[in-house]
Structure 1
Amino acid sequence: MISVVLAVYNSEQFIGEAIQSILNQTLADFELIIINDGSTDRSEDVILSFKDPRIRYFKQENKGVAGAKNAGLKQAKGEYITIHDSDDISLPNRFERMLKGLESSDIGFVHSDMLLMTEKGKPFGYWQSNNIFPEDIYPFFLSIGTPFNNPTIIFKREAINGILHDEQVKVGSDTDLVLQIAREWKSHHIPEPLYLYRRHQTNVTNNKDPEVLTRHVRKNLRDEDLKWIPEADWDSGEGNALFTAKLIAGVALSRRGMLDDAIYMFRDAIPMINSQSDRDFYEGMKALVEKDYHRSVKMFCKAEEKDHILENYLGEAYLALKKYDEAFSHFIKALSIHPNYNEPVQNIRAIGIIKGQNTIDRRVNRYK
């Protein structure tokens, strides 16, 4: 059975369509747990108009979106668990298709692509995700955010294992929860828009406070968290892994606009400089943050010891300068040193997309 958690707050305009899309699923073995988080509009009237026995309805004082989702998670009885937004729509075969991706014992959750809709239900965009290995989750999280379309995820109960949303995190609590699970479990991606995500004024955050917007990132910046940066070679005992990880994290944070946190990482790394090569690497990474790519190239090239990490970031400096051939050469060098290093692989992918992306499925070309 699938437990579907639906947190509702003042969603009278869309909640009926969301509920109906769940009740219309071709896979009928589910419970729909609806948490009314203190709505003051007609949401309750709409909810109570549905008489399906699979619906379990709960009403509480307003606790915020994270608190409402947690209330639903605590009620879940199913082998599988998903959190459905109150203004979105699931295609009729979503549950059936998604559960096929959970048949392997080592897969903890499944996710899919999703179509973006306007407030009036008109399509206006497509969000595609991909398969990603657990060891690559944290670096992606640092530099970009969640690698998944979070609302599409269906978890196995054993993967979610009592993990709840952090109710102190007002923005990004879903990403924080997913990060905890994704670092431990493999996932499966279904490249189909099985979930229709509605964008409208009330579900786009108006909070401009950087502290609120990035709290879910900051809580995952401890030294023990940085050990999820695999390229730092924590197990080899060679070099200064924490020094390297702090600089990698600093560059990543700067790229998502968290400059103060990036500066803190770099300052924290200064006492760990043990050699001239460390100093050159530090200055090269610092120049990346400052977007002084010519200086970054100069400092990286100056370093006598060039490991896979330096070769990758030297390639990134060239890539920022649009020197694609030089960048490609250094990404290949990084992989020759460390074949399982994912960053240069993704950078090679970026070069390919810049040069011209093609997909095997050409159906979209029929309608352009």
Structure 2
Amino acid sequence: MEKKKRVSVVIPAYNHERFIGPAVDSVLNQTWENLELIVVDDGSTDGTGDIVKSYSDPRLSYYYQENQDAFNTINRGMGLAKGEYITILNSDDIYTTDRLEKLVAIQQESNAACLFTDVLPISDAGTVFTDPDFGWNIWHRKNRVWFFACGDLYTAFLKGNFMVTTSNMFMTAEAVQRVGKFSALRYLHDYDYIFRMMLAFPGQVRYVDDEQLLYYRIHDGNTLGEAAITGRQQDLEVIQKYMLAALPDKQRRIAAAGTGRLLELRDELEQVRSDLSGQAEPSVRERLHLLLLAIKYKLRKKLHQYLDNFRELMQGR
């Protein structure tokens, strides 16, 4: 009987004392027992480290470092991995109990270099978002529909990252060795990595589309901010880069020139519309400032109403 191969699970952790316990439990309670869990604490200032260090399971190793961002934390963890398979779990996500067992079996049957599954979105409290009209579900469903329609993984990824998260990557150690480290992208290092994986192993990246083996946390406090702007800018750059990477040299130059001009035209059109309207569109920062002013105004108005009512009450005594 073949000896069970070891799976190395890397958890990059940062200030997730509320979620790190369930994440660690979801790994240590796997039906696939031959694993090592490497938790790299990226400079947490809350109780994350204390919670991890409270576990006595010999399969768990804990490392602390000064804050270096997620991609560096993952790279360090992968460098420490000794298993034949390497997978990642963000410290606020959760594996289903049989995730590793199922993925090992599929990998051994298919000889895939990298696998990922469908996911279940959950709230901070762990409630699954089942409403089909929930915004995230609409976005994910659209990406899946496109994948099934086009039938090509690489093309489908250009439309959207339906892998969703770094937590969804299950890879052979050999594949990780060849593809290398995660790039220095704060928000889209997983998106960049899956394109590099597909280019390095054509036809050996597999989407297990009929299995939901990961709980992906969508935080209640997520708001529009600078991250949304930076993330979309990185999204644009990743898509353009890997769209061109799939083309022969001659077509690549043509496509690069064409897409570059289209992006310029988009910006020029926005500027022209803004000039014609006579008023520039407010930036995200300006919109936030206006929102805060509106909130302050409403609070002041309610306070004045309260004081007027209080005065009337006192005069009536």
Question: What's the TM-score bracket when you normalise by the shorter of the two chains?
Answer: 0.5 to 0.7
Describe the SS at the equivalent of 2:200: coil
Deviation at 1:207, TM superposition (A): 2.5
- Answer yes or no: is 1:27 the counterpart of 2:43: no
- Answer yes or no: is 1:241 the counterpart of 2:260: no
Describe the SS at the equivalent of 2:104: helix
Deviation at 1:221, TM superposition (A): 3.7
Aligned length: 248
Deviation at 1:213, TM superposition (A): 3.3
User: Does the Cα contact within 8 Å between 2:188 and 2:231 map onto a contact in 1?
Assistant: no
Q: Percent of counterpart pairs with the same letter?
A: 29
Q: Hey, what does 2:283 align to over in structure 1?
A: none
Match of 2:182 among 165, 168, 173: 165
Deviation at 1:53, TM superposition (A): 0.3
Deviation at 1:188, TM superposition (A): 2.5
Q: TM-score, normalised by structure 2?
A: 0.68
Q: Which protein, 1 or 2, shows the higher relative CO under an 8 Å CA cutoff with sep ≥ 6?
A: 2
Q: Distance in 2 between matches of 1:15 and 1:137?
A: 32
- Answer yes or no: is 1:196 the counterpart of 2:201: no
Deviation at 1:194, TM superposition (A): 1.0
Specify the code of the residue in structure 2 equivalent to 1:122.
Answer: T
Q: 1:100 to 1:94 in 2, by over 3 A?
A: same
Q: Hey, what does 2:279 align to over in structure 1?
A: none
User: Does the Cα contact within 8 Å between 1:139 and 1:228 map onto a contact in 2?
Assistant: no
Describe the SS at the equivalent of 2:57: coil
Match of 1:177 among 163, 188, 193: 193
- Answer yes or no: is 1:146 the counterpart of 2:156: no
User: Does the Cα contact within 8 Å between 1:102 and 1:188 map onto a contact in 2?
Assistant: no
Deviation at 1:161, TM superposition (A): 1.5
Correspondences of 1:119-130 after superposition (within 5 Å): 119-125=124-130, 129=144
Report which stretch shifted further, 174-183 or 148-157: 148-157
Describe the SS at the equivalent of 2:38: strand
Deviation at 1:69, TM superposition (A): 0.9
Larger radius of gyration: 2
Deviations 1:118-168 (A, max 9, x none): 111111046565988xx94544344x232424422200111122511112x
Describe the SS at the equivalent of 2:121: strand
User: Does the Cα contact within 8 Å between 2:7 and 2:86 map onto a contact in 1?
Assistant: yes
Deviation at 1:104, TM superposition (A): 4.2
Deviation at 1:241, TM superposition (A): 2.8
Specify the code of the residue in structure 2 equivalent to 1:198.
Answer: R
Describe the SS at the equivalent of 2:31: coil
Q: 1:19 to 1:206 in 2, by over 3 A?
A: farther
Q: TM-score, normalised by structure 1?
A: 0.59
Q: Distance in 2 between matches of 1:215 and 1:54?
A: 36
Describe the SS at the equivalent of 1:59: strand
Describe the SS at the equivalent of 2:194: helix
Q: 1:95 to 1:147 in 2, by over 3 A?
A: same
Deviation at 1:211, TM superposition (A): 4.6
User: Does the Cα contact within 8 Å between 2:42 and 2:68 map onto a contact in 1?
Assistant: yes
Deviation at 1:192, TM superposition (A): 1.4
Deviations 1:77-121 (A, max 9, x none): 111011101111111111001111111464111111111111111
Deviation at 1:48, TM superposition (A): 1.0
Deviations 1:225-261 (A, max 9, x none): 61404xxxx49xxxx73466348x73xxxxxxxxx77
- Answer yes or no: is 1:214 the counterpart of 2:224: no
Describe the SS at the equivalent of 1:262: helix
Correspondences of 1:1-368 after superposition (within 5 Å): 1-104=6-109, 106-125=111-130, 129=144, 136-142=152-158, 144-150=159-165, 151-161=167-177, 163-167=180-184, 169-185=185-201, 186-190=204-208, 191-201=210-220, 206-208=225-227, 210-215=229-234, 217-218=236-237, 221=240, 226-229=244-247, 234=248, 241-242=251-252, 245-246=255-256, 250=259, 262-264=262-264
Q: Distance in 2 between matches of 1:59 and 1:205?
A: 31
Q: Distance in 2 between matches of 1:64 and 1:227?
A: 27
Describe the SS at the equivalent of 2:89: strand
Report which stretch shifted further, 156-165 or 72-81: 156-165
Q: 1:178 to 1:83 in 2, by over 3 A?
A: same
Q: Distance in 1 between matches of 2:68 and 2:28?
A: 26
**Structure 1 gap segments, 5+ residues each:** 251-259, 267-368
Q: Distance in 2 between matches of 1:7 and 1:203?
A: 20
Q: Distance in 2 between matches of 1:208 and 1:155?
A: 28
CA RMSD of aligned residues (A): 3.4
